Structures are given as structure tokens and as C-alpha cells.
Amino acid sequence: MSIQNLNTFDPFADASKGADDDVQDGLVHIRIQQRNGRKTLTTVQGLSSDYDLKKIVRACKKEFACNGTVIEHPEYGEVLQLQGDQRENICQWLTKAGLAKPDQLKVHGF
């Protein structure tokens, strides 16, 4: 543990961070919902509308070998919906593709 007061603090850290074009702002909520039996559904809410969700879902479907769709919601905007428990997969994929940072992802559910 270092002494905090003695650390050099860069006052422009925030400014420089904002400089790189970060399309994704705000949290991406990844939720799981139970369906009948042991089936589940994964929803991804909060992805930036600048992304083409249709393309994302197409890539995800191929990657995770599951079906999926984009749902238009009046309040939450476009929501990704994937079949099965894809929480781990989608987290890894989003970070790998650089669409969202790991700290922007919020996984809900059990």
C-alpha cells in the first residue's frame, strides 16, 4: 500500500481519457431470466445506440451458437436478447471486441 498523498496526481487524467472516442457511456446491464424448465434468457441492456445492434446480435449468435434478437423497448431503447445463459460469453465478447470496458459491464442475476 502506498501513501496516497505522495502519489503524483495527473489533473488532466480525465480530460485525456475523454479524448479517445469512447462510444459506450453508461453501464451495460446483463441480466438473466428464467424460462420454463431449465431454459434461460440473457438480456443486454444499455449498449450505446451508436452501435449497430443488429450486427452485434448476428456476431453473437454465431459466436455463442444461440439464437438472439434485438428488441425495441420504449424506455430502455434497443435491448439484445440471447437464448441461454450467455452472461459470461457476452461479457468476454464485449470486452474483446472493445465495445465496452469491463467496468462498464454489470451482471445481474444469480
2 binds another protein (CB under 8 A): yes
CA distance 6 to 2: 8
Binding mask 37-56 for another protein (x = CB under 8 A): -x--x-x-x-----------
* Min dist. Cβ of residue 21 to another protein (A): 26
Report yes or no: 46 and 76 within 8 Å, Cβ to Cβ: yes
CA distance 53 to 61: 12
Tell me, what DSSP letter sits at residue 9? -
C-alpha closest to that of 106 among 36, 35, 24: 24
96 binds another protein (CB under 8 A): no
Please say which residue, 70 or 99, places its beta carbon nearer to another protein.
Answer: 70
Binding site for another protein (CB under 8 A): 1-3, 6, 29, 31-36, 38, 41, 43, 45, 71, 73, 76, 79, 81, 108-110
